[in-house]
């Protein structure tokens, strides 16, 4: 019953977000056309290339998490597994990419214990690096945005976050649990390679968004700030449980962060464009994998 309710809420969120986007684009068709016309083709190409590179580094961090547990899957096989399952995150339920990943990992001979640990490690590396880098870069470049953002959060959410932090601190103070927590924390530590890959992920994904802003802003927008904003929006989209693939949440934070530089309508258009390009890249990469599997089957 709880699972059905959760799926229903996520389906409702999908409908709400897509309904808003459809209504907005139709109501502002002339503005959308004006924004697209001001974006050079070269800018779109650079944005797509940066998104593709960022996605490849996401595959690389998956590969690193497997190697951390001494699982020797080739980079090519990791590319296939990762990209075959990514579109599953858009299905209401937000678990289907993990279900697909688990199935393919089992085909590769991984144990349930190893599958759990590698997925948790990969997810932690990606989300924690996004959250930490996002907060750090925004604090450095425009801390006022964080103050405004936190002031807009519902008080209940802040209470929940504070409660979770209190529970973690309480558990950490208990001897038996403290040792277990320390041991598990050590497993989550970044290696130099995984840290570098994580930074490259957010550089390229942030750059893919930043480059589309330049032709439309009369005020200079710093690349460092946009990388931080993009990383923070990604982390927030992942953390919010009812938004499949963070859709709607990521775009809201991007728009909110662009208020000092662009009018709201233009910011919404550019955030939506970035999401569309992101999905297109995922479809292309998944298609490449499917095509390679089809050719391999035919040759056999």
What does 87-103 look like in DSSP terms, one character per residue? GGGGSTTS-HHHHHHHH
Cα–Cα distance between 123 and 64 in angstroms, integer?
12
- Does residue 49 or residue 91 have the better pLDDT? 49
Residue (of 147, 138, 153) closest to 239 by Cα position: 153
Q: How many CA atoms lie within 13 A of 145 on its CB side?
A: 24
DSSP 8-state class, residue 245: G
**Which of 20-24, 264-268, 288-292 shows the lowest mean pLDDT across its residues?**
20-24
**Residue 36 pLDDT:** 85
Cα–Cα distance between 298 and 300 in angstroms, integer?
5
Q: Mean pLDDT, to the nearest integer, of 224-241? A: 89
**C-alpha angle 237-243-246 in degrees, rounded to nearest 5:** 30
**C-alpha angle 12-287-119 in degrees, rounded to nearest 5:** 65
Cα–Cα distance between 130 and 201 in angstroms, integer?
9
- Does residue 34 or residue 195 have the better pLDDT? 195
* Cβ 82 vs Cβ 59: under 8 Å: yes
What pTM, to 2 d.p., does this model score? 0.83
Confidence of residue 134 (pLDDT cuts 50, 70, 90): very high
Instruction: Please say if the pLDDT value at position 210 is more than 90.
Output: yes
**Residue 284 pLDDT:** 92
Q: Mean pLDDT, to the nearest integer, of 248-270? A: 89
Q: Which tokens is 15 given? A: 């409908």
Query: For a pLDDT cut of 70, what percent of the chain falls above it?
Result: 74
Place of tokens 């962060």: 257
Cα–Cα distance between 211 and 223 in angstroms, integer?
9
* Cβ 275 vs Cβ 90: under 8 Å: no
Instruction: Please say if the pLDDT value at position 289 is more than 60.
Output: yes
- Does residue 132 or residue 186 have the better pLDDT? 132
For the chain, the average pLDDT equals 82
Phi and psi at residue 188, to the nearest 5°: -85, -5
């Amino acid at each position: 019953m709880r699972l059905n309710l959760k799926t229903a809420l996520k389906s409702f969120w999908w409908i709400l977000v897509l309904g808003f986007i459809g209504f907005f684009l139709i109501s502002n068709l002339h503005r959308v056309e004006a924004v697209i016309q001001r974006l050079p083709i070269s800018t779109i190409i650079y944005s797509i290339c940066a998104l593709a590179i960022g996605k490849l580094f996401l595959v690389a961090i998956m590969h690193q998490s497997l190697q951390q547990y001494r699982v020797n899957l080739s980079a090519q096989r990791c590319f296939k597994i990762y990209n075959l399952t990514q579109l599953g995150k858009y299905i209401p339920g937000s678990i289907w990419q993990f279900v697909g990943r688990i199935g393919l990992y089992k085909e590769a001979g991984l144990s349930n214990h190893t599958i759990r640990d590698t997925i948790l490690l990969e997810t932690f590396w990606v989300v924690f690096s996004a959250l930490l880098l996002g907060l750090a870069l925004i604090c450095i470049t425009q801390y006022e945005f964080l103050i405004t953002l936190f002031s807009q959060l519902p008080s209940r959410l802040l209470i929940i976050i504070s409660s979770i932090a209190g529970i973690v601190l309480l558990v950490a103070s208990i001897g038996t649990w403290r040792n277990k927590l320390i041991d598990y924390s050590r497993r989550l530590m970044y290696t130099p390679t995984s840290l570098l890959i994580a930074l490259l992920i957010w550089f390229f994904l942030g750059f893919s968004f930043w480059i589309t802003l330049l032709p439309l802003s009369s005020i200079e927008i710093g690349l460092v700030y946009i990388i931080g904003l993009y990383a923070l929006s990604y982390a927030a989209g992942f953390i919010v449980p009812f938004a499949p693939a963070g859709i709607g949440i990521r775009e809201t934070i991007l728009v909110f962060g662009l208020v000092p530089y662009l009018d709201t309508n233009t910011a919404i258009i550019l955030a939506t464009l970035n999401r569309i390009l992101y999905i297109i890249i995922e479809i292309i990469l998944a298609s490449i994998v499917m095509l390679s599997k089809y050719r391999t089957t035919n040759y056999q």
